[in-house]
């Protein structure tokens, strides 16, 4: 059986979340509170908070998306057969580097997503945050850059929607919701995590950007033909 870092991350999220559901003391020690993190130097919270969730629904949605999209981007990073279909003339960067890229994508999105909270809530002891949404957003945007015209199906919508349309709508929605605020959801964390995933893909292989534009252009050309 081949290694799957994504599966390990899913299992870790589920295990730790289930543990804190029945242990509020542990929940309080692992959640992200910028005020406590800065003043007590508990920087581990920037990581641990992303492995615990508020409830079963929160956990299910994050892990469902991570399992589906994380597995796909991990395959693109680590399987030369898949990678060569996207870039036939580009040398594959290797399996070990592919796993490293996946880990950087996940944890980079996670840590980047904490930056808005540090800026806004460093003096607010009442602010807490949990969940893998920032890391998951990074993974989702990475897939959208890699496979922009892949059809995605949203809940209650019976037709496939091209990934790039969902990606644009997602970023716009999270931007305006973060400006609006007072929703109880860290929309700015979703936005920053997603932007990290987008930028990361362009940094490790700039041709992802050209490929994205080519595929989107071909999609619209097909609509007009």
Tokens 């081949």 sit on residue = 2
Determine the pLDDT at residue 157: 74
Question: How many domains is the chain built from?
Answer: 1
Average the pLDDT over 161-169 and give the result: 94
Neighbours of 83 (CB within 10 A): 20
* Beta-bridge mates of residue 151: 162
What contacts 84, CB < 8 A, 6 or more positions away? 92
Between CA 108 and CA 203 the distance in angstroms is 13
51-102 residue pLDDT tens: 999 999 999 999 999 999 999 999 999 999 999 888 887 889 999 999 999 9
* Beta-bridge mates of residue 152: 161
Determine the pLDDT at residue 183: 67
Determine the pLDDT at residue 187: 87
Domain range holding 124? 5-224
Tokens 């057969």 sit on residue = 81
Q: Taking CA 214 as the corner, what is the angle to CA 212 and CA 215, rounded to the nearest 5 degrees?
A: 65
Between CA 199 and CA 137 the distance in angstroms is 12
Say whether pLDDT at 1 is over 70.
no
Helices (H), 147-204: 163-180, 187-204
Phi and psi based region of residue 205 (left: phi greater than 0; alpha: psi -120 to 50; beta: remaining):
beta
Nearest-CA neighbor of 215 among 171, 167, 156, 149? 149
178-192 residue pLDDT tens: 888 666 778 899 999
The enclosing domain of 191 has a CATH number of 1.20.1540.10
Average the pLDDT over 4-31 and give the result: 96
Q: What pTM was estimated for this model as a whole?
A: 0.94
């Amino acid at each position: 059986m081949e290694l799957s870092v994504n599966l390990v991350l899913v299992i870790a999220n589920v295990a730790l979340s289930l543990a804190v559901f029945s242990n509020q003391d542990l929940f309080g020690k692992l959640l992200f509170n910028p005020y406590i993190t800065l003043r007590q130097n508990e920087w581990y919270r920037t990581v641990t908070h992303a492995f615990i969730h508020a409830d079963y629904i929160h956990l299910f949605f994050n892990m469902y998306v991570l399992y589906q999209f994380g597995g796909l981007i991990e395959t693109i990073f680590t399987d030369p057969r898949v990678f060569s279909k996207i870039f036939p003339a580009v040398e594959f960067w290797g399996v070990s580097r592919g796993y490293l890229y996946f880990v950087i994508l996940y944890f980079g999105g996670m840590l980047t997503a904490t930056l808005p909270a540090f800026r806004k809530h460093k003096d607010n002891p009442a602010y807490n945050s949990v969940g893998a949404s920032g890391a998951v957003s990074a993974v989702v945007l990475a897939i959208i850059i890699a496979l922009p015209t892949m059809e995605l199906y949203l809940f209650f919508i019976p037709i496939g929607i091209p990934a790039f349309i969902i990606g644009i709508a997602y970023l716009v929605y999270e931007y305006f919701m973060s400006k609006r605020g007072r929703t109880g959801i860290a929309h700015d964390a979703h936005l920053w995590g997603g932007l990290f995933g987008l930028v990361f893909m362009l940094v490790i292989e700039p041709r992802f950007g050209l490929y994205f534009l080519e595929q989107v252009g071909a999609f619209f050309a097909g609509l007009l033909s």
